[in-house]
């Protein structure tokens, strides 16, 4: 189930925070399967003492260590990873990209939709 992907960036995510951001809860095995379908792999599931810098508190949390493909910079933070999973699961619409020309320069405009995808 768990592998070490040499050279691939890893992200460590607190399970409960991730599940809240995705809007669903999974068993470790079901989440591993979801990640595989999505195109990433869970390298490890650990229990760690996490220190929060805002208030200095320390709590024990289950964390996922996930190998991220090198070309997916959008997945290197919890918010980006959760958003991508919500889009993959059909819970959120994908952003729309529009190109605009202005004085021989190309501008890219992303339109974000914060509504649920059609069921």
Q: CB neighbours (10 Å) of residue 104?
A: 5
For the record, the structure tokens of 99 come out as 């190109």
pTM for the structure as a whole: 0.76
What pLDDT is attached to residue 52? 82
The pLDDT of residue 63 is above 90: yes
User: pLDDT by residue (tens digit) across 2-16?
Assistant: 455 567 899 999 999
Domains, the chain, with CATH or none:
10-90 (3.30.56.10)
User: pLDDT by residue (tens digit) across 16-35?
Assistant: 999 999 999 999 999 999 99
List phi, psi (to 5°) of 20: -65, -40
């Amino acid at each position: 189930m768990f592998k070490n992907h040499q050279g691939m960036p890893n992200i460590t995510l607190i399970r409960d925070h991730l599940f809240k951001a995705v809007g669903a809860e999974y068993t470790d095995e079901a989440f591993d399967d979801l990640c595989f379908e999505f195109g990433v792999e869970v390298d490890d599931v650990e229990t760690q003492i996490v220190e929060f810098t805002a208030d200095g508190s320390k709590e024990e949390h289950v964390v996922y260590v996930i190998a991220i493909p090198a070309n997916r910079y959008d997945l290197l933070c919890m918010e980006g990873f959760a958003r991508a999973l919500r889009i993959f699961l059909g819970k959120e619409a994908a952003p729309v990209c529009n190109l605009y020309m202005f004085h021989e320069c190309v501008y890219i405009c992303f339109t974000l939709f914060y509504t649920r995808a059609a069921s």
